[in-house]
């Protein structure tokens, strides 16, 4: 086996555990989108073109609440801003790959592919550039096809689910479940706390604007606190 294909299959093996998380999440998106009135084609266009679950959920929720288009876009893109970090972090490792490959990889830059690839590149910096590219695409194999297929499954099943199942609450639970594992440092906890407090205080504002202000305050709080802590450590 060449080094490139070995890297591809190693990537696939490393991200295999994500499959089990992606399936229910994608089914849920299909179901929630159907509940929101999207047909199967619209659900699939959404999930294939955007390919970023959390922001798709956020946009759906805001559109259902009749938020203005600009607010929907601003909030959904704010959810995806973390990917700037991913792009920054991978650039030194993949910057020498041909532009065409980088353009395709950008579309597939998701939490899972970033997580396993960045670890691999740190561990194996001498890997040839095309082997690094192959690893990245290998890491997508257990994630991307499954995401599309399970979204479709959810969209097809969506109408069959009665209101007793309280699916209105599937979204909040999913978002909270995504946030909880991130609460691993004091600044993260403070940022989440500010986010909750401000969103409740500003809940009376026209829909969606409160969320953006709360998010900005939360990010500022987290960043300021970590800056203070780092400065304190440097001085101490």
Partner 1 sequence: MVDKTQLWTVMPLMAVGTYLIRFSFLGMLGNRPLPTWLTRALRYTAVGVLPALVAPGVLWPVATGGQTDPARLAAAVMTLLVGVITRSVLGAIIGGAVTLYACLALVG
Considering only residues 14 through 43, tell me which ones interact with partner 1, judged by CB under 8 A.
20-21, 24-25, 36-38, 42
Of 49, 157, 159, 186, the one binding partner 1 by CB under 8 A: 49
User: Between 141 and 212, whose beta carbon lies closer to partner 1?
Assistant: 212
Residues 193-222 binding partner 1 (CB under 8 A) are 194-196, 198-200, 203, 210-211, 214-222
User: Between 2 and 159, whose beta carbon lies closer to partner 1?
Assistant: 159
Of 7, 26, 27, 94, the one binding partner 1 by CB under 8 A: 94
Residue 46 is a binding residue for partner 1 (CB under 8 A): yes
Question: Could you tell me the smallest distance in angstroms from the CB atom of residue 1 to partner 1?
Answer: 27
Of 15, 61, 112, 117, the one binding partner 1 by CB under 8 A: 61
The residue count for binding partner 1 (CB under 8 A) is: 97
Q: In whole angstroms, what is the distance from residue 204 CA to residue 221 CA?
A: 22
Residues 162-181 binding partner 1 (CB under 8 A) are 164, 166, 168-181
Question: Could you tell me the smallest distance in angstroms from the CB atom of residue 90 to partner 1?
Answer: 6
Residues 97-156 binding partner 1 (CB under 8 A) are 99, 102-103, 105-107, 109
DSSP structure class, residue 96 = T
SS3 204: coil
Residue 157 is a binding residue for partner 1 (CB under 8 A): no
Please provide the size of the chain in residues: 236
Question: Could you tell me the smallest distance in angstroms from the CB atom of residue 232 to partner 1?
Answer: 15
Cβ-contact 65, 168 below 8 angstroms? no
Question: Could you tell me the smallest distance in angstroms from the CB atom of residue 65 to partner 1?
Answer: 8
Residue 66 is a binding residue for partner 1 (CB under 8 A): yes
Q: In whole angstroms, what is the distance from residue 121 CA to residue 116 CA?
A: 9
Cβ-contact 146, 22 below 8 angstroms? yes
Distances (CA, A) of 62 to 21, 136, 211: 24, 33, 10
Cβ-contact 56, 30 below 8 angstroms? no
| Residue 172 CB-half CA count within 13 A | 5
9 CB burial (10 A radius; 0-12, 13-18, 19+): middle
Question: Can you tell me which residue has the tokens 């997580």?
Answer: 115
Question: Could you tell me the smallest distance in angstroms from the CB atom of residue 91 to partner 1?
Answer: 4
């Amino acid at each position: 086996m060449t080094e490139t294909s070995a890297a591809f299959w190693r990537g696939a093996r490393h991200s295999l555990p994500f499959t089990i998380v992606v399936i229910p999440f994608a089914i849920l998106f299909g179901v929630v989108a159907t509940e929101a009135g999207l047909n199967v084609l619209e659900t699939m266009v959404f999930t294939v073109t955007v390919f970023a679950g959390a922001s798709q959920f956020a946009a759906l929720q805001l559109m259902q609440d009749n938020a203005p288009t600009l607010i929907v876009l601003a909030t959904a893109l704010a959810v995806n801003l973390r990917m700037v970090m991913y792009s920054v972090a991978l650039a030194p490792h993949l910057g020498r790959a041909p532009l065409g490959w980088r353009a395709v990889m950008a579309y597939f830059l998701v939490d899972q592919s970033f997580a396993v690839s960045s670890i691999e590149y740190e561990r194996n910096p001498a890997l040839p550039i095309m082997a690094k590219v192959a690893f990245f695409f290998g890491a997508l194999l257990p994630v991307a096809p499954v995401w599309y297929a399970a979204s479709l499954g959810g969209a097809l099943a969506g109408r069959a689910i009665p209101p007793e199942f309280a699916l209105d609450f599937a979204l909040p639970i999913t978002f909270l479940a995504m946030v909880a594992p991130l609460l691993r440092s004091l600044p993260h906890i403070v940022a989440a706390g500010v986010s909750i407090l401000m969103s409740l205080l500003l809940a009376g504002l026209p829909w969606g604007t409160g969320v953006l202000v709360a998010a900005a305050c939360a990010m500022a709080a987290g960043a300021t606190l970590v800056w203070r802590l780092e400065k304190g450590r440097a001085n101490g």
